[in-house]
Amino acid sequence: MVIQRIFRAVIMGPPGSGKGTVSGRIVKRFGLTHLSSGDLLRANIKAQTELGLLMKSCIDQGQLVPDDVISRLILTEMRSIEQSSWLLDGFPRTVAQAETLDGVCSVDTVINMDVPFQTIKQRLTSRWLHLPSGRVYNIDFNPPKIYGLDDVTGEPLIQRDDDTPETITRRLKSYENQTQPVLEYYRSKGMLETFSGTETNKIWPHIQAFLSKKLFHQNEKVVGKA
């Protein structure tokens, strides 16, 4: 699909909700540029940039990276793709970050993946990661072509130390406390579209249909103006 106007979307969902898998499908199907805060954070830490060193210091001390630091990281990257349609993943995570984003550009829609926490707990114990790229696999529904190896590089996959039931419960609760106000913020603006389910492959067709309709409708308006 060729998008005739700039389209900007945010995707939200707890860790293990299938957000990464769906993001990849959205990028492939609709041609959006994927902007992941996690990928940017890892890249900046690896390159030892000023922001990367600052974020690593926060993480090493067990502190949350301040809103203004994360916002600077994302907004700097956004300048390089300001004429592109994009999908923002992992940002904003707080209302302050959402307000900062609003001050810079208009977001067309916010996709919220609502997956039961019990499903996520079961799912994460089957999750494997290619650490250098951040690619995520799941033995149950998104397995690698060769067990234990990354599809792209053939390098070994690892299982995260914090993918334990106790840690997962804590992370999900933290996500809920931090992100619920952001969901309410976008809901109040009429921008939030929630997709509920327990299986990514069953949620995806609904997200695809929603985006197809939204993009087609907006393209019609652009053509009508011409």
The residues carrying an active-site annotation are 19, 93, 127, 160, 171
- Length of the chain (residues): 226
159 vs 128: CA distance, rounded Å: 5
DSSP letter, residue 108: -
Closest by alpha carbon to 89, among 196, 171, 30, 12? 12
Characterize the bridge pairing of strands 127-130 and 135-138. antiparallel
Place of tokens 């809901």: 187
Dist CA 56 CA 124 (whole Å): 25
Binding residues for AMP: 37, 42, 63-65, 90-93, 97, 160, 171
CA 91, CA 186: separation in Å to the nearest integer?
A: 13
Residue closest to 102 by CA, chosen among 112, 91, 89: 91
Non-local (6+) Cβ contacts of 93 within 8 A are: 37, 70, 178, 179, 182
Residue ranges for the binding site for GTP?
Answer: 16-21, 127, 136-137, 200
What does 201-220 look like in DSSP terms, one character per residue? HHHHHHHHHHHHHHHHHHHH
Task: Please count the CA atoms within 13 angstroms of the CA of 153 that sit on its side-chain side.
Answer: 10
